[in-house]
Structure 1
Amino acid sequence: MKDVPLILVVDDESVNLTILSWILDEAGFGVLTAGSGPEARELAIRRQPDLILLDILMPGEDGYSVCRSLKQASATQDTPVIIISGLSGNAEKARAMALGAADFIMKPFSRQEILERVRLHLPPHSTPAL
C-alpha cells in the first residue's frame, strides 16, 4: 500500500489544475495532473492513482469519454472517479453516474467540499488526518 494517497487531477484549465493541486497537496495527498483525456488515461494506467478528479468539458475527448474508458479498463475500473464540472443539470450528473463516476462536484467548488468528497471515496486507513 502507498504511504500517501495519490490523486490524479484532470482538467484542461491550468488555473483549475493549480487550485486543486494546491488544495490536495496542502491536505497531505500526492498529486498528479493531466490536461487531456489521453494523458489522463496513460497516467492512470501507469501510476495507479487512488482517486481521479475529472473535468467534463475538455477539448477533444470529454470527461464522459475518459470516465467510460477508465471504467472499462481492468487496471482502472475500481479507481473512484469524481466528476468536477460547471455543468450543473441533473442530466449531466445522471450521465456521469451511469458511466461509473463515484460522485459529482459542481464548479465553483470549495476547499472543504473537495476534501470531504475525496476522503469519502478513499479507504479510511489511506487518508491523511484532518
Structure 2
Amino acid sequence: MKDKPFILAVDHNRRNLELLGQFLNKEGYQTISAGSQEEFQQALSGETEIGLVLVDISGFDRQIWDLCEKLRDDQIPFLVISPKQSAAIQQESIAHGARSMVVKPLAIREFLGMIRGLMGE
C-alpha cells in the first residue's frame, strides 16, 4: 500500500504549527511544517510528495501569494487559513489558486471534512 501524501502546514507562529501537526498526526496524516517563506519554498522543492498545503497567512507579507501561485501552477491543492472573515482575503485567496479559505478559530469537523475531500478520501 502506498503511503499517503504529506500535508504541508505553513504558519509563521511555531506554536500553532506544532499544535496543527499534532492534530493532523492524531487524525492519521503525515505532516511537514514550514514557519517561514524560505522553509515553504524548501518543502516544495524537496523529494516529499505533498498532497495538500494549509497556509495560515497571518504574519506573512504579500510574497506569500507568489508561493500560493506556485502551488496552483504545480496543481497542489491548498487552503488559506485567515485570522478574520474578509471578503477581500477570500477573493485574493481564490484568485491565487486556493480551493477555499477557513477562518480561525477553526471548526474542527468542517476543517477535517475539507482536508479529507482535498486528499481524495
TM range, smaller chain: 0.7 to 0.9
CA deviation after TM superposition for structure 1 residue 63, in Å: 3.1
Distance 2:111 2:19 in 1: 11
Where does residue 51 of structure 1 map in the other structure?
52
TM-score of the pair, normalised by structure 2: 0.87
Other-structure match for 2:25: 25
Residue aligned with 1:50, SS: strand
Distance 1:53 1:100 in 2: 13
Equivalent pair of 2:5/2:49 in contact (CA under 8 Å): no
Mapped to 1, the partners of 2:25 and 2:103 lie a distance apart of 21
Distance in 1, Cα, partners of 2:67 & 2:7: 16
Deviation at 1:58, TM superposition (A): 2.7
The count of residues paired between Structure 1 and Structure 2 equals 120
The alignment's C-alpha RMSD in Å is: 1.8
**Residue type at the aligned position of 1:56:** I
Give 3-state SS (helix, strand or coil) of 2:42's partner. helix
Is the Cα–Cα contact under 8 Å of residues 71 and 77 in structure 2 kept in the other structure? no
**What percent identity do the matched residue pairs reach?**
29
Counterpart secondary structure, 1:109: coil
Q: Deviations over 1:7-40 (max 9, x none)?
A: 0000010121012111110010001000012211
- Cα deviation for residue 91 of structure 1 reads 1.1
Tell me which residue corresponds to 1:107. Answer: 104
Q: TM-score, normalised by structure 1?
A: 0.82
* Structure 2 unaligned blocks of 5 or more: none
